[in-house]
């Protein structure tokens, strides 16, 4: 039985996308031999909408295990606009189904995060054979203990924090590292602990600026302080607001980012020079770590197994330290937040790291 498989990568890029693509391809060629054809879809769902497809050769998947980014390219196509017909008059769902049919696909693999999973589930309910693979440096996909790309980003963010120690010590400064994580603080939490941060600020634990300032003052005898802040952090006052109210409040206050505001307030309250470091997209770039190469390969192999069983409408996941899968409908649209009583939070607090709560 011949199988024709479409693969796309959607949303933000991260280390391990190519490793996962390779894992899927190699496993499929191993399982199905000449009875498999793989179609690469450019620029995520945008490419699926616009039929930007290329039939791949087996050699196309060689040499990409260690390469960052994605050989297919990626693009953000927000889920909230998927069922909205905009000025171009394109019915996106209808167009994606048409491409699937034109390309004579037997299934579609979608590598991405929460938004990607929501669209994957939508296509599944529309009758397409879809399998999702969990990609994000934020590690915030519901139902899986880990996503590929996360551990590499932790390594990179940890290296950033490591490098701040010497310059903070040299100048006797307070240095604030802004780490990606708009909704969930997993990356900041792990990197903060691994990098020896004195304070960690994440969205799930709203902060009191007075407590953060007090922690900095207590460390004055050490000469410097390191604070890891998730980009989506907010204080206890903002925690009582809805998302739109919070955005309006920040606009009225002239707040550009949570990190810059924290640094400014800390400097005012302590009188200590406080600087911000934003590694930004460096956290997404580069070669995947050994951990992520292995994880990506395992996830890719699992996807091939699901294809061999014609088991669709699922998202590959790590569950209880075993590679498995969840129904797409159960995980799409759900975010995995850091529980306030998470073991990692407890571990951090046990060694004196301050969260400002």
Burial class (CB in 10 A: 0-12, 13-18, 19+), 156: buried
Cα gap 152→352, rounded to integer Å: 26
Q: Which of the following is catalytic: 13, 43, 106, 138?
A: 138
Strands of 3-9's sheet in order across:
53-55, 36-41, 3-9, 107-112, 130-134, 314-319, 322-327
- Of 11, 346, 298, 338, the C-alpha closest to 187 is 338
Rg (CA), the chain: 22
The angle, 0 to 180 degrees and rounded to 10, between the axes of the packed helices 343-350 and 186-194 is 30
Cα gap 237→240, rounded to integer Å: 6
Asked whether 183 and 137 are in contact (CB, 8 A), the reply is no
The pair of three-digit structure tokens given for residue 18, joined into one six-digit string: 């190519």
Cα gap 127→111, rounded to integer Å: 19
Known catalytic residue at 159: no
Collapsing DSSP to helix, strand or coil, 31 comes out as helix
Q: Kindly tell me the sign of the dihedral angle through the C-alpha atoms of 304, 308, 314, 318.
A: negative
Cα gap 10→265, rounded to integer Å: 37
Burial class (CB in 10 A: 0-12, 13-18, 19+), 201: buried
Q: In angstroms, what CA-CA distances link 43 with 152, 211, 243, 268? A: 23, 45, 29, 45
Catalytic residues: 138
């Amino acid at each position: 039985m011949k199988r024709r498989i479409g693969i796309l990568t959607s949303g933000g890029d991260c280390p391990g996308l190519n490793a996962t693509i390779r894992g899927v391809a190699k496993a499929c060629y191993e399982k199905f031999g000449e009875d498999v054809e793989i179609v690469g879809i450019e620029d995520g769902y945008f490419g699926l909408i616009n039929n930007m497809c290329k039939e791949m050769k087996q050699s196309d998947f060689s040499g990409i295990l260690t390469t960052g980014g994605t050989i297919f390219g990626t693009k953000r196509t927000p889920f909230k606009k998927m069922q909205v017909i905009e000025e171009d008059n394109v019915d996106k769902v209808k167009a994606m189904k048409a491409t699937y049919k034109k390309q004579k696909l037997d299934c579609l693999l979608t590598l991405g995060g929460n938004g990607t999973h929501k669209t994957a589930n939508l296509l599944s309910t529309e009758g397409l054979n879809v399998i999702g693979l969990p990609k994000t440096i934020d590690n915030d996909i519901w139902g899986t203990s880990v996503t590929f790309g996360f551990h590499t980003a932790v390594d990179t963010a940890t290296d950033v924090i490591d490098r701040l120690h010497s310059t903070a010590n040299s100048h006797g400064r307070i240095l604030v590292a802004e780490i990606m994580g708009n909704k969930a603080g997993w990356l900041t939490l792990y990197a903060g602990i691994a990098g020896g941060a004195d304070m960690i600020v994440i969205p799930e634990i709203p902060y009191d600026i007075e407590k953060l300032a007090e922690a900095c003052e207590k460390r004055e005898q050490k000469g410097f302080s390191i604070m890891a802040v998730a980009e989506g952090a907010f204080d206890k006052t903002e925690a009582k607001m809805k998302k739109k109210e919070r955005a309006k409040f920040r606009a009225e206050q002239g707040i550009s980012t949570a990190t810059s505001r924290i640094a400014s307030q800390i400097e005012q309250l302590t009188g200590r020079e406080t600087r911000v470091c934003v590694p930004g997209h460096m956290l997404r770039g580069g070669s995947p770590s050994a951990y992520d190469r292995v994880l990506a390969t395992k996830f890719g192999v699992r996807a091939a197994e699901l294809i061999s069983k014609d088991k669709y409408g699922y998202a590959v996941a790590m569950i209880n330290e075993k590679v498995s899968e969840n129904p797409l409908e159960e995980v799409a649209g759900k975010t995995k937040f850091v529980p306030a009583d998470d073991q990692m939070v407890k571990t951090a607090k046990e060694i004196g790291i301050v969260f400002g709560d």
